Structure 1
Amino acid sequence: MARPAPPDGISTRLPAASWEEALVTGNGRQGALVHAVQTQVRLTLGHERLFWPLEEPLPAPHTAPALAELRALLRSGRPRAAAERVVELARAEHPGYARTRWIDPLTGAGTLTFTPARPGWGSLARHCEYATAVVREELPGGLVHEVFASRADDVVALRLRAPGGVDGVLALGPLPGEPPTPADTVLTSGPHTLALRVAFTRPRPNTPTGYVLTCRVCAPGGRVSVDGPGRLRVRGAPEVVVLARTTLSRTGGAPEADAALEELEPDFTALLERHVPRHADLVSRARVRLTPRGRADSAPVWGEELLAAGPRPELVERLVDAGHYAIVCATGELPPTLQGVWSGAHSPPWSSGYTLDGNLASAVAALYPLGAAELMLPVFDLLDSLRGDFADNARRLYGCRGLLVPAHVSTHGRHNHFGPEWCLTLWTAGAAWLARLYWDHYSHTRDVAFLRERALPFLRAAAEFHEDFVSDDGFVPSYSPENTPADSDSQACVNATMDVAAVRDLLRNLLRAHRVLGLPGARRWAALAARLPGYRVSPAGELAEWASAAGPLEQADHHAHRHASHLFPFWYEGDPAFADPALRASAVRAVRARLAWWRSSDADEMAFGLVQLGLAAAHLGLADEAHQALRLMATRYWRPTLVSTHNRGALFNTDICGGFAAVVAAMLLRSREGRVDLLPALPAPWTEGEAHGLCARGGVVVDRLEWEGGRMRAEVGARASVRVRVGLPDGTVRRLDLVPGRTETVEAALAPRR
């Protein structure tokens, strides 16, 4: 198969009012926010592990002895009292729980600026090229700069050029505002070096003791002189190249400048040539086209004009490229935080970090379908590094074996963040949900060694928790992330549908892992599955968000809410229970009920709730509803830079960068072990298009999928020999025996629109 063309980029004529309106580049470890105004170049630099030490992690509260009491309160219809009792016990145990405790925040390392001696006035142009990760900004007066974060050399490279030579001041400084905790900060300038050294005054064993941001400045043919601490004046240089790197220190004392930068040849072009193949491979493996073949020319696509034109297929196509680009740039040794690998603030919203009750799963949701499975490994590296804390959480909170995952983590995995309203200690589905990502890695890659050595231990530990925790009446306590039943005064609950669905999914995957690996001992997991509650249909005929009542409380549905956690059964392979037509119809009604709220003017925050709805709608074959979710995401949550936000037009956040692309992929390809469906939720506006390199469960790869004029054609291959059923849009099913290195072609008519 011919490799698809590399993705285009985006441009904007708008200056950056703040770092949140930056264009982005990153190599996963180093990140740069590029946010020029007419008179100054600005780069905010960061590192994926730069979590500022905030608070000493505490042991999770020891509430296990009170579990019977908590259950009695919930069963008697007193959920608020149960939530408050957890907080009371925690505060009695440790005074640190007297207030809400946050995770260590992701912060930027510092800001590098260049101020020309003779600034120009007028318009500027800002560009980001996805195929190379180069950001280019053209300032009035002719000053041009380019910047990228190299995957080959782990350095941020900046090149400045101007007619008549570069003349101005390079300045390095810390982020504006007060840091979360005190730190010793030193700025230095050398003949060709700027350095910002920060030593944390309250480091911990699991955090860095400080960091240094080093900038090596090369201006051949020009003059460079020190202009004060953190400042260099450049005169008459044909071009200036700056090599910047943030390094973290794990030892005491002030960190030293990065001497390794001196070993790099300051050749911008050579650095770029080493970087591009690694980056381009990740962003180009899969492509989606929803517009007529052959874009007219190579003229810039202006983000502000693209957004103003509305949710046309071209915008959807561009947002898939933009979102996947951002997630690739933000994935290194660690997965993307709420803000990817970027932060321009000391105290970002929700401390950035990893939010495991929805945001992280959304951010990485497109990595498998778009063929970048290796970028999921940092997710598992992070989780495996925190397993000791997860096990302590399970033991201390509930007296159980296994793993209990908190909603928020960064430098540790202890369950410290909760309160009487946000009663997050009652959320027990986290490890079961994350276990699905482990299974999906095997399902997409067919890596049996990964299944045996990494996935199976996590799945087994996640199931052991529920083997101990699940009571005769199910999940008590429980929590449907951040929602409150309509007839309750607390988020505390029993038998959240998410718990039921996630643990059912976990146990199915654990049984399959036993079969694949030929292991004994599966009966215990089948016995646990038999103990789980079933799903419930609400009086309105919808799949209920809570699978049973809590004493006198019905636990009635509350659709005016940003999460859609009860739709978990449709985000991945689907639960076989929904082969029941009545139960499936209830799920359709639940999607439509929650989507109706999102269409209202009150719906605003947390765009990844639309990802949850879009994935569920696509799985259920609801093309119009999936398209509505995309339209809402496309028109509310992207800046002209095509970097997404958390709320409408506010709060830099990357979780729907992956989630948006995942919904588009799910509308084109649905999969489970042994079955793929082509174009399961194709909306009417997508009259023609094609996709290359989409990946499915079972190790299936759709090398090419195209549709036009009422017909579709696909070339289907596989990573390993497999027999698969292929569902076609006309309702027929083909059975294919696939072998590596060979594709099979299928064709069919598109289903008529009802």
Structure 2
Amino acid sequence: MTPTSDSPPNRTIRTRSPVRDWEDALISGNGSQGALVHSGPDRTRLTLCHERLFLPAREPLPAPRTAPILPELRALLGRGESRAAAERITALAAGEGYRGTHWIDPLVGAAELALTPDRPVPGPLTRSCDLDTGVVTEELPDGTLHRVFASRADDVVVCEFLRAGGLEGRLTLGTLPEEPPVPLWARADAGTDRLSLTVTLPDRPAGTAPGYTVTCAVTSEGGTVRPDGGGLAVRGVRRLTLVLRTEVAAPGAERPPAPAVLPGKRTGPLLERHRTLHGELMGRFRLRLDGAGPGHGRGADPERIARLVDAGRYAVISACGDLPPTLQGVWSGTYDPPWRSGYTFDGNLPSALAGLHPTGTPELMPPLFDLMDAFAEDLRENARRLYGCGGILLPAHASTSGRHNHFGPEWCLTCWTAGAAWVARLYWDHYAYTRDRAFLRERALPFLTEAAEFHEDFLCADGFSPSYSPENTPADGDGQACVNATMDVAAVRDLARNLVRAHRVLGLPGARRWVRLAARLPGYRIGPDGCLAEWAGTAGPVAQTDRHAHRHASHLYPLWYERDPAFADPRLAGAAARAVRARLAWWRGQEADEMAFGLVQLGLAAAALGMSEEACEAVSLLAERYWRPTMVPTHNRGRILNVDIGGGFPALVAAMLLGSAEGRVDVLPALPREWASGCAEGLRARGGVVVDRLEWGPDGVLVDLRATADGPLLVRMPDGDRRIRLTAGGTVRLRGKLRNG
């Protein structure tokens, strides 16, 4: 083996890029509390955020009662009248209160904390973020040092200012500096050792949160701190320590919470407790990638790719609390975030969560399952009202409720029925990676069952009608409503297969029911161009021909997780490979803003097919286009803070290094020649397998495997298959060559 260094990678981000707005911030978060640190020469500033602070802007309505017109909708789709079907849904919904798009409640920033110096400090700031501790540091040209972290141990944001010559300025805590979409009543209070902000929502819909409180405990060393018109005047203070907490009232409460009683104000113990928890999560996975040398590298620098894996994991770990990450994680510096920054289930949220299992942080997944529990009655109501079906129907967008509220004549999202089946795969994977049989029996099986019960009732002689392939329109169609989107077929095939496996693992009867469901599903289709078709069947006179110039790649779903057994057929595998190349050719020439996670979808499919160069190109496009100088991921090219590729990018890199299915792991299934050598520590595989170390280089491959339970394992090494047996807690080391011969 080529010698490697065991020294940990440098996980500190440094930048001197200017701050234009809150999206240029460095981020810190403990899952529940978030801090955006975005100072400038005129003030040192951070925006405080909370995972539950969805502004109750509109009362959620029940999903429209379209079940009685389902035969009419199916007839329209059978005649190829896609737009007419979507407009019929919209017209009916208008009579039930849906006039125009009904947006979800937005995730908003709680408050802005600012220390404004008596005199601005010109010149660029030196800014850094230590990913292993979550500490953000800013150094001003006058020597002022500003440190911030969100403590996972104490559920507070800690902010420290230091200046040898003494701080001179005014400390304030207030609401965001923009007009809110609904009335806010804000009251700021100041004392020598505290600031507080209480925000009440006087016109909120019934049963929603009445407001929130931000509390700031203040400790100073040297100089003086005194109340000054709702803020604090700071004079000659060498060290100013602030401990802050945002608390959001429970829905239906009478008033905002009282100001919090905060933990001890010494920074050292607070940081040490937090460092232990956050650092342990970050330390579960480490990656080093080395390039192929001069003249051989294409695409993004391998070292940058490894650093972005760390940065992506940091963003998602910092955004997983009692709730899963929204589009923007746990951060928002506005009252009007893009797409209201809720949970987007038809791509963004699954991408954000995709790296949690393969990089070793499965305990961050249950917030998704808790959210599904909270939405359960709404999901059942959606199924009944929209389609007259049992089971559950998950909307594409949600925040404070699971009601199917967001749709329109173009974005006909009520036609998307695969959401619960997709989330069911995340339930199954949680079992597959952890081998937690109690979770499988008590949480996964009930959810999978209800997701499948919907499709038992919904499937008709034509298959899935209505259907929807997220955001794409057939090239010969006039709307997005369709019949038999390949994603729907694939997600429900996967759901039925996993239900059969769950019954077998738990020794329960009833699996034949799900075999019968699988038998009712349409098959996959290969289009005239030889690509895997995005629509598995026609809609009457409309052939539903592919349109590869699109940012989603939903028809490649059968390859994102465990490869659908149907793709053992070389014809289907070849068609999928051609579909990857067709979409990638479009992405290659894109200069306009397009969402990032579609490249994750392409890359995962390429990795599953062993298409190493195509997977590498997807990684390179992601690395070169979708990150700010702060290494915070974005939705569009360099703009719109968004955490979906924060999970998707590490998941894609991990999939290129390790594939897995029940009873099998694939070592380096899509290793590009650009990654000539490297080392990954802490990869995880389905079947409860942990890859403590995977190392490769010109001299060969080394892999250390262990498992949580005894059992046989097929290991597909680059130079051939090995059949081994793992015992719980024991380690097996395998060596091989990078290529046969």
Is the pair's TM-score, using the shorter chain for normalization, greater than 0.5? yes
Aligned to 1:738: 726
> Is residue 609 from structure 1 mapped to residue 598 from structure 2 by the alignment?
yes
The answer (yes or no) to whether the contact 2:291–2:302 under 8 Å persists in 1 is no
Aligned to 2:295: none
Task: Quote how far apart the aligned CAs of 1:497 are.
Answer: 0.1
Task: Quote how far apart the aligned CAs of 1:199 are.
Answer: 0.6
Match of 2:474 among 482, 485, 491: 485
Aligned to 1:166: 167
Q: Write out aligned runs for 1:405-554 (5 A).
A: 405-554=394-543
Residues 516-555 of structure 1 show CA distances to partners (whole Å, capped at 9, x for unaligned) of 0000011111011001000000000000000011100010
Q: Secondary structure at the match of 2:576?
A: helix
The answer (yes or no) to whether the contact 1:562–1:603 under 8 Å persists in 2 is no
Match of 1:331 among 320, 331, 352: 320
Distance 2:123 2:299 in 1: 28
Task: Quote how far apart the aligned CAs of 1:751 are.
Answer: 2.2
Aligned to 1:594: 583
Aligned to 2:390: 401
One-letter amino acid of the counterpart of residue 750, structure 1: L
The answer (yes or no) to whether the contact 1:31–1:342 under 8 Å persists in 2 is yes
The answer (yes or no) to whether the contact 1:165–1:238 under 8 Å persists in 2 is yes
Residues 122-172 of structure 1 show CA distances to partners (whole Å, capped at 9, x for unaligned) of 232000001110000001100001010001111000110012222221111
Q: Secondary structure at the match of 2:138?
A: strand
Distance 1:683 1:584 in 2: 20
TM-score by length of 2: 0.97
The answer (yes or no) to whether the contact 2:383–2:390 under 8 Å persists in 1 is yes
Aligned to 1:644: 633
Aligned to 1:287: 286
Identity score, percent? 61
> Is residue 217 from structure 1 mapped to residue 221 from structure 2 by the alignment?
no
Aligned to 1:242: 242
Match of 2:53 among 50, 55, 60: 50
Distance 2:710 2:206 in 1: 48
Q: Secondary structure at the match of 1:366?
A: coil
Distance 1:257 1:219, change over 3 A: farther
Aligned to 2:683: 694
Unmatched runs of 5 consecutive residues or more in structure 1: 294-308
Aligned to 1:190: 191
> Is residue 750 from structure 1 mapped to residue 735 from structure 2 by the alignment?
no
The answer (yes or no) to whether the contact 2:291–2:674 under 8 Å persists in 1 is no
Task: Quote how far apart the aligned CAs of 1:401 are.
Answer: 0.3
Distance 1:173 1:15 in 2: 24
Distance 1:528 1:728 in 2: 36
The answer (yes or no) to whether the contact 1:15–1:38 under 8 Å persists in 2 is no
Aligned to 1:11: 14
Distance 2:690 2:641 in 1: 33
Task: Quote how far apart the aligned CAs of 1:222 are.
Answer: 2.4
Distance 1:310 1:556, change over 3 A: closer
The answer (yes or no) to whether the contact 1:195–1:257 under 8 Å persists in 2 is no
Q: Secondary structure at the match of 2:123?
A: coil
Residues 621-668 of structure 1 show CA distances to partners (whole Å, capped at 9, x for unaligned) of 100000100111111110010001111111111111110111000000
Distance 1:68 1:692 in 2: 54
Q: Secondary structure at the match of 2:173?
A: strand
Distance 2:128 2:254 in 1: 40
Distance 1:118 1:102 in 2: 43
Task: Quote how far apart the aligned CAs of 1:207 are.
Answer: 3.0
Distance 1:97 1:411 in 2: 18
The answer (yes or no) to whether the contact 2:245–2:260 under 8 Å persists in 1 is no
Worse-matched range after superposition: 202-211 or 488-497: 202-211
Aligned to 2:105: 104
Q: Secondary structure at the match of 2:635?
A: strand
Aligned to 2:37: 34
The answer (yes or no) to whether the contact 2:299–2:617 under 8 Å persists in 1 is no
Distance 1:423 1:449, change over 3 A: same
> Is residue 277 from structure 1 mapped to residue 276 from structure 2 by the alignment?
yes
Task: Quote how far apart the aligned CAs of 1:257 are.
Answer: 4.3
Aligned to 1:305: none
Distance 1:39 1:60 in 2: 48
Distance 1:478 1:147 in 2: 47
Q: Secondary structure at the match of 2:98?
A: helix
Distance 2:699 2:592 in 1: 36
Distance 1:439 1:447 in 2: 10
Match of 1:84 among 82, 87, 94: 87
Residues 92-150 of structure 1 show CA distances to partners (whole Å, capped at 9, x for unaligned) of 2x1x2011001100000011011223443323200000111000000110000101000
> CA RMSD, aligned part only?
1.6
The answer (yes or no) to whether the contact 1:7–1:131 under 8 Å persists in 2 is no
Task: Quote how far apart the aligned CAs of 1:187 are.
Answer: 1.8
Aligned to 2:267: 268
Q: Secondary structure at the match of 2:334?
A: coil
Q: Secondary structure at the match of 1:74?
A: helix
Task: Quote how far apart the aligned CAs of 1:498 are.
Answer: 0.1
Task: Quote how far apart the aligned CAs of 1:5 are.
Answer: 3.2
Worse-matched range after superposition: 232-241 or 194-203: 194-203
Distance 1:359 1:416 in 2: 18
The answer (yes or no) to whether the contact 1:45–1:111 under 8 Å persists in 2 is yes
Q: Secondary structure at the match of 1:219?
A: strand
Worse-matched range after superposition: 37-46 or 128-137: 37-46
Q: Secondary structure at the match of 2:687?
A: helix
Distance 2:376 2:206 in 1: 17
Distance 1:445 1:673, change over 3 A: same
Distance 1:499 1:202 in 2: 40
Aligned to 1:623: 612
Distance 1:145 1:697 in 2: 43
Distance 1:722 1:385 in 2: 37
Q: Which runs of 4+ in 1 moved over 4 A?
A: 251-254
The answer (yes or no) to whether the contact 1:698–1:722 under 8 Å persists in 2 is no
Task: Quote how far apart the aligned CAs of 1:747 are.
Answer: 1.2
Q: Secondary structure at the match of 1:334?
A: coil
TM-score by length of 1: 0.95
Q: Secondary structure at the match of 2:695?
A: strand
One-letter amino acid of the counterpart of residue 151, structure 1: R
Task: Quote how far apart the aligned CAs of 1:177 are.
Answer: 1.4
Task: Quote how far apart the aligned CAs of 1:258 are.
Answer: 2.2
Residues 283-305 of structure 1 show CA distances to partners (whole Å, capped at 9, x for unaligned) of 11011110389xxxxxxxxxxxx
The answer (yes or no) to whether the contact 2:209–2:253 under 8 Å persists in 1 is no
Alignment coverage as a number of residue pairs = 731
The answer (yes or no) to whether the contact 1:4–1:285 under 8 Å persists in 2 is no
The answer (yes or no) to whether the contact 2:530–2:578 under 8 Å persists in 1 is yes
Distance 1:7 1:258, change over 3 A: farther
Distance 1:319 1:192, change over 3 A: same
> Is residue 343 from structure 1 mapped to residue 332 from structure 2 by the alignment?
yes
Distance 2:54 2:523 in 1: 41
Distance 1:389 1:203 in 2: 20
Distance 1:513 1:603, change over 3 A: farther
Aligned to 1:673: 662
Task: Quote how far apart the aligned CAs of 1:255 are.
Answer: 2.7
Task: Quote how far apart the aligned CAs of 1:3 are.
Answer: 9.6
Task: Quote how far apart the aligned CAs of 1:6 are.
Answer: 6.8
Aligned to 2:549: 560
Task: Quote how far apart the aligned CAs of 1:463 are.
Answer: 0.4
One-letter amino acid of the counterpart of residue 742, structure 1: G
Aligned to 1:125: 126
Distance 1:481 1:532, change over 3 A: same
Match of 2:341 among 332, 340, 352: 352
